[in-house]
Amino acid sequence: MSEARTAIVRSWLAEPLPRDVVAALERLAASDDVRRVAVMPDVHLAADVCVGTVVATGSTLYPNAVGGDIGCGVAAMAFDGEAAVLDDERAAARVLAGLYRAIPFARHGRKASGRLPPDLDARPLNAPSLEARKGEASFQVGTLGSGNHFVELQADEEGRLWLMLHSGSRGIGQAIRDHHLASCTTGRRGLRFLEAASPEGQAYLGDVGWALEYAEANRRALVDAVLDVVERALGVRGDESSRVSCNHNHVRRESHGGEDLWVHRKGAMSAARGEPGLLPGSMGTRSFHVEGRGCEEALSSSAHGAGRRLSRTDARRTLSARDVARELRRVFYDHRRAASLREEAPSAYKDVDDVLRAQHELVRVVRRLRPLLSFKGS
């Protein structure tokens, strides 16, 4: 373990940081073996390590700098049709009804077993308790989850119809994080870590790799389900050549500034030079396809979305169903769920345009998309 020191911190901010976020970042920067920290403009408070943070260490792994939804990310695909096919409210209603039938929020029924990809089913996780979770994991492939996970149909600047969706590793990712936290050492600033070269560190990395593949398989299953719904409802098909997928919760070995580091991203995308990325806004605002600029000071990273402005608790306390309806007046969604969507209202999030302006040296915008229809599990 290296001697006590404070890491180099670089920030790309859309607005001044709240005191609790500053305190959390200062704690992180002073933690064991933390060499560099990059703060993205969508940063906001979360347990131990803020969302929107990139952490580089020399030899240690911080499970809470990845988070529980390991491999959570975004996928997008264009359709071979125009966005105008959704101008008819009846068409939008058919899509929403089809999504409710095809995509559970939590789990598939018992008759839908065997969904776990064979290679993941055959590859053991590093504890019997985690192996025992594979059965439940098989029923969660192709499920959306709650919170800010979504399926959205969008229009690009040329009027083409696009899909964008956001989901991750569901319950198995949380179980992996929680299991390995129990093996961690508590550092001088209270954050828990593993030595990467230790058996415990290697076990964690192996299980993270499993969860990353599981999350990608989940997104593939979701995309396939949405494509089927949209083709049946609207008569347009997906363009496989346009598919993009990226994740924003991971840890991996990377070289930066001539130094090999463990780079943890929690709510941050990799944005190496030329690397494609997807940056969603809120339910009522634009989303973006981007390309990384490979900014070394930012550890070749980018914001992963708009980022929360209000905590979920504050959003439920200050926003009403009427606010949701007003803010989503140009977007098709299930109006019966307006009250439960308060914490996902656009005003609960930062302005995504401000986020992009703050990180103009991190990514280049490739495509701008506006939301047409949103399907969410909050």
Beta strands in the chain (DSSP E): 8-11, 34-44, 51-57, 60-61, 73-82, 150-156, 160-167, 185-186, 192-195, 238-247, 249-256, 259-266, 268-270, 276-279, 287-292, 301-303, 363-376
DSSP output for 199-254 = HHHHHHHHHHHHHHHHHHHHHHHHHHHHHHHHHHHHS--EEEEEEEEEESEEEEEE
Which residues on neighbouring strands pair with residue 150, listed in sequence order? 166, 376
Tokens 């550890």 sit on residue? 299
Rounded to the nearest 10 degrees, the angle between the axes of helix 170-181 and helix 199-234 is: 170
Which two three-digit tokens encode residue 254? 């990377």
What is the β-pairing status of strands 249-256 and 259-266?
antiparallel
pLDDT tens per residue across all 378 residues of the chain: 445 678 999 999 999 999 999 999 999 999 999 999 999 999 999 989 999 999 999 999 999 999 999 999 999 999 999 999 999 899 999 999 999 999 999 888 766 544 899 999 999 999 999 999 999 999 999 999 998 999 999 999 999 999 999 999 999 999 999 999 999 999 999 999 999 999 999 999 999 999 999 999 999 999 999 999 999 999 999 999 999 999 999 999 999 999 999 999 999 999 999 999 999 999 999 999 999 999 999 999 999 999 999 999 999 999 999 999 999 999 999 999 999 999 999 999 999 999 999 999 999 999 999 999 999 976
Looking at residue 2, its pLDDT comes to 45
Residue 3 confidence (pLDDT):
52
pTM, entire model: 0.95
Other C-beta atoms closer than 10 Å to the C-beta of 265 total 28
Beta bridge partners of 155: 161, 370
The confidence score (pLDDT) of residue 377 equals 75
**Contact between 169 and 69 (Cβ < 8 Å):** yes
Please report the domains of the chain, with CATH numbers, ordered by start residue: 8-309+349-376 (3.90.1860.10)
Catalogue the active-site residues. 304
- How many C-beta atoms lie closer than 10 Å to residue 235's C-beta? 11
Ramachandran angles phi, psi of 345, nearest 5°? -60, 150
pLDDT of 83 reads 97
Residue given tokens 């065997």 in the structure block: 114
